Amino acid sequence: MECYLDNSATTKCLPEVVEAVTNCMTENYGNPSSMHLKGVEAEKIMRSAKETIAKTLKVDAKEIFFTSGGTESDNWAVLQSARAAKRDGMHVITTKIEHAAILNPMKQLEKEGFEVTYLGTDEYGRISLEELKNAIRPDTVLVSVMGVNNEIGTVEPVAEAGELIKKCNPKTLFHVDGVQMYGKLPIYPKRMKIDMLSVSGHKIHGPKGIGILYISEKVKITPLILGGGQQKGMRSGTDNVPGIAGFAKAAEILCANMEEDAEKMSALRDLFLTEVTKLEGVTANGPAKCRITAITENANAENSNTETAADSTVIPAAPHIASISVEGVRAEVLLHALEEKGVYVSAGSACASNKPAISETLKAIGLKKELLDSTIRFSLSIFTTEEEIRYAVASVHCTLRHRILQRRIASRCIRTFPVRPGEGTSYCHRFPAGVTYDSFLPSCKK
């Protein structure tokens, strides 16, 4: 059985998305900058896509700019907005648990002379609004906070943060990395006082290589990429019409069924965490339960309740991300053991590289040192079924039983010795006198 539970890394394209992309590659393949009919047709597709996406965010289509994905959107928002506001101040704020697409541009700003304040989190990965309030200064030009943490699924209080930022310093811009939030939970920039929002297509069952940056018409920002002047000179480069069409179709479908899909995924996530944490040595990271209704009501409220957001008893979780730590088992070992059973997961963020590193998020939430390299992420999608969840739990259980068996065999042996004299790389076990492997194995399974 194949069980794909790495949907925070990338998702399977919807059939409707594949159809939209194919159409723009084989039929309406013109360059939207061309003045002939083929170009006009492509330009119409692009304009319609902008309107579709803008509608899901309740913003104006002219505030939507297409990019190559979440990383470009994040870089553009952070670097160019801060540089444009340099005369007003050189202080920016972010969190310790951001994606590398935010943290690395922040490091670049530091090299350019900006001062960066990194907010901490509680044990669930949620920022403190009080700490944010105390960090905002007259010279703070930008605050960037992710909507949903990509590793442990914590939903940050972005609506409350937006309200707070504008009260403390109306000139401070607010950027949200919405890559793991858009299409799963409601996010409305104008209502939440978000000035810039980054989104990626392949996280919502759309194609790779396409994303958007919402930029409020009130924001002063300069282009990151210069060239032929496409998208009103704000983002040059030949427009990726197939990607744009596919992104719009995915956004339309997911946002239309968002609440229903979120309820389904949250129930499966809760089922997974309930069952898997029954296993010896397995603990969950981040919020334990999803609260989709509470999140939706807060997003739809005209004014955010900062008191509720600050209440540590209300820790909302995204419906699609579950993080667990397994005592005594390295994440990479468990990942490949599950892969052999057809279960596909990731160790931390798969967006950074295929070389796992100790997660800044796990360190920020205060995870025990011995568990930092023993944590894996399971992430669901609209296609995930209960059968897959139960199979994944059974696969984790089977893998851990095998590991326990191996440790018991090793601990009950008298000693080990080379299989062949002089070859120290291959070892076998020597059992006590009169004990064979077949008679020893049943006792280890107890």
Helix (H, G, I), strand (E, B) or coil at 6: strand
Report which residue type is found at 290: C
Q: Is residue 409 very low, low, confident or very high in pLDDT (cuts 50, 70, 90)?
A: low
Instruction: Give the C-alpha separation, 235 to 295, whole Å.
Output: 33
Q: Per-residue pLDDT tens for 175-229? A: 999 999 999 999 999 999 999 999 999 999 999 999 999 999 999 999 999 999 9
Which domains, from first to last, does the chain contain?
3-9+257-404 (3.90.1150.10), 15-256 (3.40.640.10), 413-444 (no CATH)
Q: Per-residue pLDDT tens for 143-162? A: 999 999 999 999 999 999 99
Strands (E), 80-134: 91-95, 115-119
- Asked if 209 and 343 count as a contact pair (C-beta separation under 8 A), the reply is no
Helices in 185-344 by DSSP H: which ranges? Answer: 189-192, 241-256, 258-276, 292-300, 306-310, 331-340
Average pLDDT over every residue of 234-249? 98
List the structure tokens of 344: 């596909």
Q: What is the DSSP string of 347-380?
A: SS-TTT-SS----HHHHHTT--GGGTTSEEEEE-
Q: Is 351 a catalytic residue?
A: yes
**Burial (CB count within 10 angstroms: exposed 0-12, middle 13-18, buried 19+), residue 402:** exposed
Q: Per-residue pLDDT tens for 312-360? A: 456 799 999 999 999 989 999 999 999 999 999 998 655 554 555 678 9
Residue 67: half-sphere exposure toward Cβ, Cα within 13 Å: 26
Return the residue matching tokens 């807060």: 298
pLDDT of residue 402: 75
pLDDT of residue 425: 41
Residue 129: half-sphere exposure toward Cβ, Cα within 13 Å: 22
Conformational region of residue 434, where left means phi above 0, alpha means psi within -120 to 50, and beta covers everything else: left
Q: Of 189, 195, 179, which Cα lies nearest the Cα of 58?
A: 189
Average pLDDT over every residue of 107-126? 97
Instruction: Give the C-alpha separation, 16 to 35, whole Å.
Output: 29
Lowest mean pLDDT among 79-88, 230-239, 404-413: 404-413
Give the sign of the dihedral formed by CA 182, CA 185, CA 186, CA 192.
negative
For 284-311, letters b (16+ CB in 10 Å) and e give bbbbeebbbeebbebbeeeebbbeebee
Instruction: Give the C-alpha separation, 412 to 17, whole Å.
Output: 56
Catalytically annotated residue among 3, 255, 290, 351: 351
